[in-house]
């Protein structure tokens, strides 16, 4: 947790930035896995954490945007509960730690909201992503739950985005820490993987590092020999000689800040020669994207640069042809790179994605509907204080190849006979995290080896 002054200043800025009314920020509840008392690892709502900082279930925060006053709602644990949970600080002491003296029982939240509604005040809340919070909001606002998304406050979402997207120095220190742990997770996996192991053994080795650092994984670990499946969470395959292994994993620190890195390495001590060539091309796209990071550059251009590098580079293998600019504009590169070059990162690995990509990544400009480009989560101009990932990849996805080939899709740019030879290649990407600075960009955390020699060096340790 940060100091109470940090949370007080954040809430003050939020209240001042809104036109008025009551800001309602529910914290998350415990989420049952298979019965009520067997819960998933608790994850607090990130916006609640940002303004109220308390990593505990069943709380809500209210900020009066007219008076600037903040209120914390929650109930002290009974001794019967403490028997199971251990001692939990009183709500008044939790409030004190974040500079909130006005603490109330959870049930009094209804009175505060109802009074505000009857006096005609606006109630600002964010569109919920959990159904229990949706139902709670519907009850508080006395409306049908289906009406909640349209009643959610775009004004609040935009103000929260404007505040959270610029990371403060104390947040950056936490993210640096998260990325350092993430680097150790990757090194552990890279050193450990051997032919004959199951993917799950590598995933476990990687997870161990995050847990040992008193945090957690920031998202479900991807540890796979099928890197062409973008979010592949299956860990049941046996790793064999000749495979490429893709690891995409990150740490979440005790303070809930995230790291998110990807690495691709050969299961053998060295890459095969074709793996080397495709890997180098992916790394070239990565470096071309990194070189563009500076304030004022639109991230869409960073992405398109990575796309063009990949499309142009695949010509050497006979897979692509024609004018690279035209091909990328038409979306032909998306056969090999059907997703985006990066995303914001902070308290969430895809930071604030619950507030709407159109605002987080596009400043309200509608997203492209083109296959590939529509999966770009960040397109807007970069500003100092942004934290984002760079993660272009090259993927050979058999189902996508078959579909496009059967439709003769963009045959003027794609040579399906040659592409077919890569059917079993798999997929690869590297990923690093960056802070946009006044001058350009700084990689966050320690360096993870990216070059062919660097990766092979770790594999032979």
Select the residue interacting with ligand GLY from 174, 176, 199, 248 (CB under 6 A).
Answer: 248
Comparison of 319 and 436: residue with beta carbon closer to Mn ion: 436
How many other CB atoms are there within 10 angstroms of residue 357's CB atom?
A: 20
Query: Binding partner of residue 184 among ligand GLY, Mn ion, none, CB under 5 to 8 Å per kind?
Result: none
Q: Which of residues 202-241 bind ligand GLY (CB under 6 A)?
A: 219
CA distance 281 to 312: 10
CA distance 244 to 427: 8
- 433 near ligand GLY, rule: CB under 6 A: no
Comparison of 61 and 392: residue with beta carbon closer to ligand GLY: 392
Q: How far is the CB of 223 from ligand GLY (least distance, A)?
A: 12
Q: How far is the CB of 429 from Mn ion (least distance, A)?
A: 9
Q: CA 131 → CA 110, 149, 176, 416, distances in Å?
A: 19, 12, 33, 45
Strands 251-252 and 393-395, how do they pair?
unpaired
- 260 near Mn ion, rule: CB under 5 A: yes
Comparison of 350 and 459: residue with beta carbon closer to ligand GLY: 350
Q: How far is the CB of 190 from ligand GLY (least distance, A)?
A: 17
CA distance 286 to 29: 39
CB 250 within 8 A of CB 216: no
Comparison of 99 and 340: residue with beta carbon closer to ligand GLY: 340
276 Cβ partners below 8 Å, 6+ apart? 452
Select the residue interacting with ligand GLY from 165, 243, 260, 312 (CB under 6 A).
Answer: 260
339 Cβ partners below 8 Å, 6+ apart? 230, 372, 375, 376, 393
Q: How far is the CB of 85 from Mn ion (least distance, A)?
A: 34
Q: How far is the CB of 244 from ligand GLY (least distance, A)?
A: 17
Q: Which residue pairs, CB below 8 angstroms and at least 24 apart, start in 366-370?
A: 370/331, 370/334
- 432 near Mn ion, rule: CB under 5 A: no
CA distance 382 to 413: 31
Binding mask 380-399 for Mn ion (x = CB under 5 A): ---------x----------
CB 229 within 8 A of CB 198: no
Comparison of 219 and 317: residue with beta carbon closer to Mn ion: 219
Question: What is the contact surface with ligand GLY in residues (CB under 6 A)?
Answer: 219, 248, 260, 343, 349
């Amino acid at each position: 947790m940060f100091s109470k002054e940090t949370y007080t200043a954040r809430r003050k800025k939020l209240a001042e930035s809104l036109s008025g009314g009551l800001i309602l920020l529910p914290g998350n509840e415990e989420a049952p896995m298979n019965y009520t008392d067997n819960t998933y690892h608790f994850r607090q709502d990130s916006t609640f954490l940002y303004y109220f900082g308390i990593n505990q279930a069943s709380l809500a925060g209210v900020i009066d945007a007219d008076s600037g006053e903040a209120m914390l709602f929650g109930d002290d644990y009974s001794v019967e509960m403490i028997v199971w949970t251990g001692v939990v600080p009183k709500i008044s002491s939790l409030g004190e730690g974040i500079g909130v003296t006005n603490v109330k029982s959870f049930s009094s939240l209804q009175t505060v909201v109802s009074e505000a509604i009857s006096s005609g005040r606006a109630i600002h809340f964010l569109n919920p992503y959990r159904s229990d919070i949706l139902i709670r909001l519907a009850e508080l606002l006395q409306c049908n739950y289906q009406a909640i998304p349209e009643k959610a406050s775009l004004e609040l979402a935009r103000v929260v985005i404007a505040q959270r997207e610029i990371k403060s120095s104390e947040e950056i220190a936490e993210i640096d820490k998260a990325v350092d742990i993430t680097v150790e997770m990757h090194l552990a996996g890279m050193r450990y993987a051997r032919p004959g192991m199951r993917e799950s053994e590598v995933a476990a080795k990687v997870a161990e590092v995050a847990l040992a650092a008193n945090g957690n994984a920031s998202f479900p670990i991807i540890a796979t020999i099928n890197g062409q499946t973008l979010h592949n969470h299956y860990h049941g395959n046996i790793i064999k000689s000749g495979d490429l292994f893709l690891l995409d994993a990150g740490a979440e620190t005790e303070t809930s800040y995230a790291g998110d890195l990807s690495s691709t390495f050969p299961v053998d001590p060295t890459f095969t020669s074709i793996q080397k060539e495709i890997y180098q091309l992916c790394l070239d796209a990565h470096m071309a994207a990194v070189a563009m990071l500076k304030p004022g550059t639109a991230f869409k251009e960073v992405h398109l640069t990575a796309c063009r590098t990949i499309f142009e580079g695949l010509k050497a293998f006979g897979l692509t042809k024609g004018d690279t600019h035209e091909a990328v504009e038409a979306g032909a590169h998306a056969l090999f790179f059907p997703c985006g070059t990066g995303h914001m990162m902070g308290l969430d690995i895809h930071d604030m994605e619950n507030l709407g990509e159109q605002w987080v990544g596009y400043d309200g400009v509608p997203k492209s509907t083109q296959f590939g480009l529509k999966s770009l989560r960040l397109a807007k101009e970069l500003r100092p204080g942004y934290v984002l990932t760079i993660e272009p990849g090259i993927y050979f996805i058999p189902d996508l190849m078959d579909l496009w080939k059967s439709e003769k899709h963009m045959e003027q740019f794609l040579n399906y006979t040659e592409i077919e030879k890569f059917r079993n290649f798999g997929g690869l990407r590297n990923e690093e995290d960056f802070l946009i600075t006044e001058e350009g960009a700084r990689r966050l955390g320690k360096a993870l080896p990216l070059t062919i020699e660097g990766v092979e060096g770790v594999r032979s340790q």
